[in-house]
């Protein structure tokens, strides 16, 4: 970012009273900050403002937490959108938000089946409308029968509507070929909600040591943000970029051994298929993690929200539950929480906030506490629950909506697979970039070799070099990505995350424009 655009950026931020937030984003690596030591202090009364609540006396964990996917780049991107609306001249016509896995925002069409069910449960008079196929009506009726007073406006049980939990259990059974008890299924408002509910249980100082959680680096920033909020220690284990972002046992051993010196490791998070890294773990790799977690007495959290997003030939999704169960005792008795969402897959219903957590082998007392802890938030949104029902209980062969549903689903997944390949291939064709194949999920996480002068310039400005690169890209092309430092990366390497979600034509234009920018950038800073 030129110093001109940086100062413009800070000026903008000040207008929105976000200056301090933005500055902290620009000046510190979120990843470094999150593993910092300044989280557990008792603040002394040194008021920075006359306000009752100010930066000096507010929750220090909230102050420190970062959420890179929605950081200052996105704020600047939104500002540029407003400038464009006002007619400000730019070298591009629109901002392309490749920063977040937001399918419909990028032009993906909602699945008709899902939206028809939503309309029917929202306005049950439509059940008399002959234009809706019977299988859609049946599903809507089943959901409404599960609602008190027959209305989606009633509270449900905190873990969700019984019939939907049962449908989820059947879905999991079909997927894994292993029994699933619906009482182990808790619906939630998106996977983030479920993940936080489980991590919350693990917050406990033991023998004076803080709890720690192993998370992959690069990671999805929900984890670092939640660990910061809960004042838990983040134990990063690096994924191996040279082995297609696979998990390496030696690295797991290294990270836990170091961590045990200063905290108490309680759990391990695995994201499969990977976010931001797009890998799909082999069965062998999943087995390794399970055995490691068993040996180290770790609670397993399997973030499996991209289970439908597997593209690469030879890649296959193996759920942690399936592998753990098939390994037999003692592994099959391990505690596991697995998370699923209606925001990803082929449906991409991010805004509707549906998801589920399956827990297995929990201590019954702990499970009771989990149920209690979610009860104060009453229940996850009923329409989000309804979407989850559509995902796990889709039209079956012979039903009226079956063919159109299958067609829409297959078309989304096929196009995503093509885009996954296009993105990785293109980045690999650009000098100074290398990108692992996008086997699954919705992201590429290429490595970029930045010119020394650019790195120095960024450091002089107190900005992460990959954030410097990303701001320049945004200002010059309108493409909004997330710097690798927001997810964590090996020191001295630079990456970015982009989604593969822009529709094919837009994606091709974006990649062209990205390539031109990159070559110019290399030229400018060589």
Q: Which of positions 33-62 make contact with a second copy (CB under 8 A)?
A: 42-45, 48-49, 51-55, 57-62
Question: Which residue lies nearer to a second copy by CB, 305 or 435?
Answer: 305
**Which CB atom, from 40 or from 429, has the smaller least distance to a second copy?**
40
Instruction: Tell me how far, at minimum, the Cβ of 402 lies from a second copy, in Å.
Output: 19
Measured CA angle at 259 (ends 445, 212), to 5 deg: 80
Query: Of the candidates 319, 357, 381, 485, which one interacts with a second copy according to CB under 8 A?
Result: 381
**Interacting positions 428-457 with a second copy (CB under 8 A):** none
Which residues sit opposite 186 in a β-bridge? 357
Binding mask 243-262 for a second copy (x = CB under 8 A): --------------------
Count of residues near a second copy by CB under 8 A: 112
* Alpha carbon distance 170, 393 (integer Å): 9
Pick 192 or 319: Cβ nearer a second copy: 192
H/E element, 164? helix 162-176
Shortest separation between residue 115's beta carbon and a second copy, angstroms: 5
The correct pick among 134, 145, 363, 403 for binding a second copy (CB under 8 A) is 363
Q: Which of 366, 407, 410, 459 binds a second copy (CB under 8 A)?
A: 366
Q: Does the protein bind a second copy through residue 402 (CB under 8 A)? A: no
State the Cα–Cα distance between residues 192 and 100, nearest whole angstrom. 14
What whole-number distance in Å separates Cα of residue 182 and Cα of residue 102?
A: 29
Distance CA 393, CA 396 (A): 8
By CB under 8 A, what part of segment 475-504 binds a second copy? none
Shortest CB 251 distance to a second copy, Å: 22
368 interacts with a second copy by CB under 8 A: yes
Q: What does DSSP say about strands 482-483 and 494-499: parallel, antiparallel, or unpaired?
A: antiparallel
**Does residue 17 come out as left (phi exceeding 0), alpha (psi in the -120 to 50 range) or beta?**
left
Which among 29-37, 66-74, 167-175, 452-460 is the span making contact with a second copy, rule CB under 8 A? Answer: 66-74
Residues 6 or more apart in contact with residue 175 via CB below 8 angstroms: 307, 319, 322
- Give 303 or 457: the residue with its C-beta nearer to a second copy: 303
Taking CB under 8 A as the criterion, the residue among 172, 323, 340, 382 binding a second copy is 382
Q: State the minimum distance, in angstroms, from the CB of residue 268 to a second copy.
A: 11
Q: How many CA atoms are closer than 13 Å to the CA of 420, on its beta-carbon side?
A: 23
d(CA 110, CA 337): 29
Q: Which of residues 265-304 bind a second copy (CB under 8 A)?
A: 266, 297-299
Query: In the complex, what is the shortest distance from the CB of residue 315 to a second copy, in angstroms, rounded to a whole number?
Result: 26
**Least distance from a second copy to the Cβ atom of residue 350, Å:** 5
Q: Which SS3 state, helix, strand or coil, does residue 265 take?
A: strand
Residue closest to 203 by CA, chosen among 234, 225, 231, 236: 231
Which of 355, 384, 440, 488: binder of a second copy (CB under 8 A)? 384
| 331 beta partners | none
Q: Which residues contact 439 (CB under 8 A, 6 or more apart)?
A: 244, 273, 278, 279, 280, 310, 311, 312, 315, 420
Q: Which residue, 59 or 396, has its beta carbon nearer to a second copy?
A: 59
* CA atoms of 394 and 307, how far apart (whole Å): 16
Q: Which of residues 141-170 bind a second copy (CB under 8 A)?
A: 147-149, 151-158
C-beta closer to a second copy: residue 42 or 242:
42
Asked whether 169 and 187 are in contact (CB, 8 A), the reply is no
Q: Which residue of 27, 91, 204, 283 would you call a contact of a second copy, by CB under 8 A?
A: 204
Residues between 209 and 238 that touch a second copy (CB under 8 A): 221-222, 225-226, 229
Could you identify the residue written with the tokens 């609306």? 85
Among 9, 12, 193, 486, binds a second copy (CB under 8 A): 193
Q: What angle do CA 277, 279, 281 make, to 5 degrees?
A: 135
Taking residues 316 to 355 in sequence order and writing x for each that binds a second copy by CB under 8 A, - otherwise, the string is: ------------------xx-----------xxxxxxx--
- CA 354, CA 309: separation in Å to the nearest integer? 17
Q: How far is the CB of 263 from a second copy (least distance, A)?
A: 13
Hey, which residues between 68 and 127 contact a second copy (CB under 8 A)?
70, 78, 97, 100, 102-108, 110, 115-116, 118-119, 122-123, 126
Residue in 327, 371, 422, 522 binding a second copy, rule: CB under 8 A: 371
Measured from the CB atom, the residue of 246 and 478 that comes closer to a second copy is 478
CA–CA distance, 339 with 178 (Å, rounded to integer): 17
- Please give the Cα distance from 507 to 15 (Å, whole number): 33
* Cα 109–Cα 414–Cα 102 angle in degrees, nearest 5: 40
Residue 462 contacts residue 27 (beta carbons within 8 Å): yes
Q: Which stretch binds a second copy (CB under 8 A): 163-171, 242-250, 360-368, 478-486?
A: 360-368
Q: Is 181 a residue that touches a second copy (CB under 8 A)?
A: no
**Cα–Cα distance, 283 to 271 (Å, whole number):** 14
Least CB distance to a second copy at residue 253 (A): 18
Contact (CB, 8 A) for 191 and 349? no
Rounded distance between C-alpha atoms, residue 127 and residue 140, angstroms: 8
**How far apart are CB 487 and a second copy at their closest, in Å?**
14
């Amino acid at each position: 970012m030129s110093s001109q655009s940086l100062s413009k950026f800070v000026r903008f931020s000040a207008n929105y009273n976000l200056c301090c937030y933005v500055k902290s984003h620009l000046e510190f690596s979120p990843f470094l900050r999150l593993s910092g030591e300044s989280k557990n202090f008792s603040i002394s009364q040194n008021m920075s403002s006359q306000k009752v609540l100010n930066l000096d006396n507010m929750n220090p964990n909230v102050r420190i937490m970062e959420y890179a996917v929605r950081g200052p780049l996105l704020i600047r991107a939104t500002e540029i959108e407003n400038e464009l609306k006002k007619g400000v001249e730019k070298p591009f016509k629109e901002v392309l938000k490749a920063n977040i896995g937001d399918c419909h925002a990028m032009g993906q069409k909602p699945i008709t089946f899902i939206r028809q069910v939503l309309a029917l449960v929202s306005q049950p008079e439509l059940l008399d409308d002959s234009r809706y196929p019977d299988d859609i009506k049946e599903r809507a009726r089943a959901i409404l029968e599960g609602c008190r007073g027959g209305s989606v406006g009633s509270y449900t049980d905190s873990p969700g509507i019984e019939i939907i939990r049962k449908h989820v259990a059947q879905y999991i059974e079909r997927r894994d070929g292993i029994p699933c008890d619906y009482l182990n299924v808790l619906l939630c408002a998106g996977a983030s909600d479920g993940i936080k509910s489980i991590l919350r249980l693990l917050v406990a100082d033991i023998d004076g040591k803080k709890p720690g959680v192993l998370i992959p680096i690069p990671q999805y920033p929900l984890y670092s943000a939640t660990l910061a909020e809960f004042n838990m220690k983040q134990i990063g284990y690096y994924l191996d970029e040279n082995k297609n972002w696979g998990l390496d046992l030696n690295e797991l051993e290294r990270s836990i051994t170091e961590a045990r010196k200063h905290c108490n490791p309680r759990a391990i998070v695995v994201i499969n298929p990977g976010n931001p890294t797009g890998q799909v773990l082999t069965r062998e790799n999943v087995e390794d993690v399970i055995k490691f977690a068993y040996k180290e007495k770790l609670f397993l959290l399997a973030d499996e929200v991209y289970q439908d997003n597997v593209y690469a030939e030879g890649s296959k999704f193996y759920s942690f539950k399936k592998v753990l169960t098939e390994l037999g005792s003692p592994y099959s008795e391990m505690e596991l929480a697995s998370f699923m969402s209606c925001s990803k897959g082929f449906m991409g219903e991010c805004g509707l906030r549906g998801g589920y957590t399956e827990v297995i082998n929990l201590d019954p007392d702990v499970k009771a506490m989990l149920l209690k802890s979610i009860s104060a938030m009453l229940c996850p949104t009923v329409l989000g629950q309804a979407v989850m029902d559509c995902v796990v209980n889709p039209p079956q062969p012979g039903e009226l909506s079956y063919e159109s549903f299958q067609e829409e689903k297959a078309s989304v997944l096929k196009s995503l697979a093509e885009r996954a390949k296009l993105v990785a291939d293109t980045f690999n064709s650009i000098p100074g970039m290398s990108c692992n194949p996008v086997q699954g999920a919705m992201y590429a996480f290429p490595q970029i070799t930045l010119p020394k002068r650019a790195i120095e310039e960024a450091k002089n400005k107190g900005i992460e070099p990959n954030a410097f690169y990303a701001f320049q890209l945004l200002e010059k092309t309108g493409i909004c990505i997330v710097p690798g430092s927001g997810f964590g990366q090996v020191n001295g390497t630079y990456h970015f995350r982009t989604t593969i979600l822009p529709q094919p034509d837009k994606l091709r234009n974006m990649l062209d424009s990205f390539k031109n920018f990159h070559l110019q950038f290399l030229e400018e800073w060589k």
